[in-house]
């Protein structure tokens, strides 16, 4: 398999989509995390299409997620190439894939995943729980930035 060279990627669950495993969104909406699609479109345009998604899930969830991305017109709204959307079977597979893709920035809600991505220079910890952040703030690597939402990510990346 030939891997594209990407600069930026994001996880899906709790970062782009806030749907639960039963398909419902906590706010009764369509399951999009606020501003995710708009900011991803801006980042993708700025990076000339070198933007993607890496998500860990089993095959059934992958099919369900691909359907959701299509239903939400994710590819049209963000400009992200469907060939830049990757699903891996295990959490441990995310970091090696990030390295193969040449990622410089990644967004995830799980600190363990971000800490494993040592080749990625800018990592965004998406909406960390306050108690967890409080216990980790002093030990976070400088490459990991806690953010409360997509607008904060855009503000951090505006210089790209």
Measured distance CA(44)–CA(25) in Å, rounded: 26
pLDDT the model gives residue 30: 72
Q: Which domain holds residue 116?
A: 8-157
pLDDT the model gives residue 19: 72
pLDDT the model gives residue 31: 86
What's the CATH number where 114 sits? Answer: 3.40.50.1000
User: What is the residue-level pLDDT of the chain in tens, covering all 160 positions?
Assistant: 789 999 999 999 999 998 755 555 555 557 899 999 999 999 999 999 999 999 999 999 999 999 999 999 999 999 999 999 999 999 999 999 999 999 999 999 999 999 999 999 999 999 999 999 999 999 999 999 999 999 999 999 987 6
> Do the Cβ atoms of 156 and 147 come closer than 8 Å?
yes
pLDDT the model gives residue 160: 64
Q: How far is CA 37 from CA 4, 31, 74, 91, 143, in A?
A: 21, 11, 7, 24, 24
Q: What domain count does the chain have?
A: 1
Residue 3 lies in a domain: no
Nearest partner of 124 among 88, 73, 84, 160, judged by Cα: 160
Residue 1 lies in a domain: no
pLDDT the model gives residue 57: 92
Measured distance CA(99)–CA(6) in Å, rounded: 10
39-48 residues labelled b (16+ CB within 10 A) or e (exposed): bbbbbbebbe
Residue 123 lies in a domain: yes
pLDDT the model gives residue 21: 54
């Amino acid at each position: 398999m030939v891997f594209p060279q990407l600069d930026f990627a994001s996880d899906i669950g709790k970062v782009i989509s806030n749907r639960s495993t039963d398909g419902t969104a906590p706010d009764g909406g369509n399951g999009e995390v606020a501003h995710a699609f708009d900011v991803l479109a801006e980042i993708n345009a700025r990076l000339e299409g070198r933007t993607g998604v890496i998500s860990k899930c089993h095959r059934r969830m992958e099919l369900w997620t691909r359907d959701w991305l299509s239903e939400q017109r994710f590819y049209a709204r963000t400009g992200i190439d469907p060939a830049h959307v990757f699903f891996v079977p295990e959490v441990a597979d995310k970091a090696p894939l990030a390295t193969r893709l040449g990622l410089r920035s990644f967004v995830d809600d799980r600190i363990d995943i971000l800490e494993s991505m040592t080749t990625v220079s800018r990592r965004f910890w998406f909406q960390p729980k306050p108690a967890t952040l409080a216990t980790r703030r002093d030990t976070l690597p400088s490459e990991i930035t806690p953010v409360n939402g997509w607008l904060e990510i855009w503000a951090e990346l505006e210089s790209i």
